[in-house]
Structure 1
Amino acid sequence: MYPSGSYAKPYPALILSQSIYTFLVYKEIWCDGCYDLVHFGHANSFRQAKLLANKLIVGVHSDNEVLKHKRLPIYTEEERYKLIKGIKWVDEVVEDSPYVTTIDVLDKYNCYYCAHGNDITATFDGIDTYKIIKETNRYKELKRTPGISTTAIINRILEKYQEKNKSTITLENNGILFEEETNNKHSKWTGINDPFLMTTSKIFEFMNNEYRTPKSNDKIIYAPGSYDLFHIGHLDFLENCKNESDYLIVGLYTDEIIKKIKNSQYPIMNLQERIFNVLSYKCVDEVIIGAPYIISEDFINQIKIDTIYHGGKHLIFANDYVRGIRNNGKQTEN
């Protein structure tokens, strides 16, 4: 038997040998963060954490809590809460979690371990936010996803703006200058000096463990778009599509198509990155990579589409038959 005390030892979901406290996975595990501009790097950390436990609980910091220690988040707390809840490896979201993780928080949610990437997260005065957790051996380190971070995305947006306006920007928010973040393209904390390399094994990791092909009687909705800088409008749109269907297929346009239908400043995130962003969400069943811009009858018949959902601004149909299955419901531009 385990020693007395709720947390004398990690509580496993499956015990192989109680005499030596051997286990395969834990019941619950905790992750927390700001998760601004929610991206596939965040989702990948959740995927890794979920491999260690049956249940993943994610604490998301409020806007005010983040502002005490760094800049004001670009996505609001409500947007970040919902986006994190939509990610397929997340079982529960704790809103307004403290910026500094404590033993009391872990115990409250029955989590023996807290998991986080192998980068530094510090308070406004430079103290490691996981110092106490590490000192009590209740910390699990996850591998950070190379080539992606919130700071890196902000860099890209500012660089695109500078290219378009041929000017230099200095942004200031509550006394905190963005200049140091945006000019430091090789941050040892964000890992953005390492390129993101797409492999088939990475795609496989992001696919749902319960992946299935559609059944013959499933209603299939197809939702093409760019889905650049995945945001709350995208998630609301895709969840609406999923609620109306049995099987949701998302089509992702190539970078070249997006440049033609918008302008050369887009997309902010390339096709490979957008694939992983979309694959991270529970509501998505399948993704077509490099989806055709002109939707043909042959294309519809090949994947047996029942209805097309789209924001409506950029969509071309090959003929009236294709146009006839398009749904003009409550969608947002994607």
Structure 2
Amino acid sequence: SSQMDLLASGERGNQTSVQEFLLLGFPGAWHFRMSLAVLFAVMYSLTILGNVSIIMLVWTHPPLHTPMYFFLCNLSFLEICFTTTCVPKAIGVMLGTSQTISFTACLLQLFFFLSLGSTECFLLAVMAYDRYLAICHPLRYSALMSSIFSAQLALASWLGGFLALSVLASLLSRLSFCGPNVINHFVCDIDSWIVLSCTDTRLVELVTFIVSIVVVVVSCVITLISYFYIIYTIMSIPSAQGRQKAFSTCSAHLTVVMLWYGSITFLYVKPSAQNSLDANKTINIFSTVVTPLLNPFIYTLRNKEVKEALRKAFEGN
């Protein structure tokens, strides 16, 4: 009868016997994990500091109250949220202080992480379109990109990012896990859920692929077309100084775009989840820790107006 009880409890627990997951992070010697945790903590602090500084700078300097900087503030705020969804938890995982994560927390982390990532794709496309209007239609720019229209575009990016992931999140929440519950990652990622689930995951994989194609490819195409016209227009500017000025504002954006799309295309635009999870982890460091840290610096260092505003802020003007 004890065997029968075990079988019965096993069957009962079979639906979703896994109530929490164990995040592996980066297995290795303690000093290796410790130095990684310190590195993550330093980069996370700098990311918050850099992005908050950009928001404060734009907020307090009226010359920067233009659509371009409004979008940049949105991007900075987004980077703060994006990196916060996973980096503090990842540090806990590496230190070994909080390696477990509940089913619900894991799903929520996954939802916010992917939704904010999708929002970033749309926002970068919007920023590319804004630069296209500014450079290719300078005389009509202020009429075309009004403050109301720029607010609508930013709102559409946020809504689009979260709506794109809502169907997928509801499908993921229905997956059941009967064990093993070890996630070979420092965040809850979609591939790990698909690999660990004991339900049929073909629909989830198909929806993931479709959402990735729609979000990444559509936003990437808009960005590339905008840049094709931008570069074509810049090349036809007669003065070298004019070309230099136009290109300096765009090259910063283009750098961010290439870093971002390079990492996410590798991670998400693929038909199957069964590729190397270790490679995913390394690439994920790039999209979750490195890119959010670089964005404020790339934009600030390449930009005369921001440098000027910074100079005034430091001089206490």
Which has a greater percent of strand?
1
| TM-score, scaled to structure 1 | 0.21
| TM-score, scaled to structure 2 | 0.22
Larger RCO: Structure 1 or Structure 2 (Cα < 8 Å, ≥ 6 residues apart)?
2
Which has a greater percent of helix?
2
